[in-house]
Amino acid sequence: MDPISCITLATTAYRGIKKAVEVGKEISSFTGAISQFAKASADIDFLEQKAKKPPLYKMFTDNQSNALEIWTQKQKLKEMRTELQEYISFVYGPSAWKEIVAIEAQQRKEQRELVYKKQEFVDSVINGIVITILLIIGFGGAGLILYFFGKKQGKW
């Protein structure tokens, strides 16, 4: 999951929704596209949260450019969302947009339960492994220093 693939998914869904609205389809006929747009929106929000608090093993990567890319994609998504809201509210009425917001909330909840918790668990496991390896290296290095220090003094 990266910002570019998320915005690509959102753009595809956005175009599908816009086209469906233009030809006058019922909202229930394009809920798949709405769901896809909501998923992409939730993914970008999750990526933004991860960029703010990256896992330990990603502390030495280029988070600055990644955060800027996520921000840029989030702004594009915000523009698409605003345009969709205006367009759908105009064609179907404000209650239709409320329906879409409800679908989006449900999609975010499902994404949280299915995908994000799994990713957070994987990040936690990798963090645990990295910390364990660093501790082993640290204690091993300290042990070697003590050994050579003791050997130099003739204690070993």
Tens digits of residue pLDDT in 52-106: 777 776 666 666 677 788 888 889 999 999 998 888 888 888 888 888 888 888 8
117 in a domain, yes or no?
A: no
19 in a domain, yes or no?
A: yes
103 in a domain, yes or no?
A: yes
39 in a domain, yes or no?
A: yes
122 in a domain, yes or no?
A: no
12 in a domain, yes or no?
A: yes
Which domain does 72 fall in, by range? 3-110
Please spell the DSSP secondary structure of the chain, one letter per residue. Answer: --HHHHHHHHHHHHHHHHHHHHTT--GGGGHHHHHHHHHHHHHHHHHHHHHHS--GGGTTS-HHHHHHHHHHHHHHHHHHHHHHHHHHHHHH-HHHHHHHHHHHHHHHHHHIIIIIHHHHHHHHHHHHHHHHHHHHHHHHHHHHHHHHHHHHTT--
129 in a domain, yes or no?
A: no
pTM of the predicted model as reported, rounded to 2 decimal places: 0.68
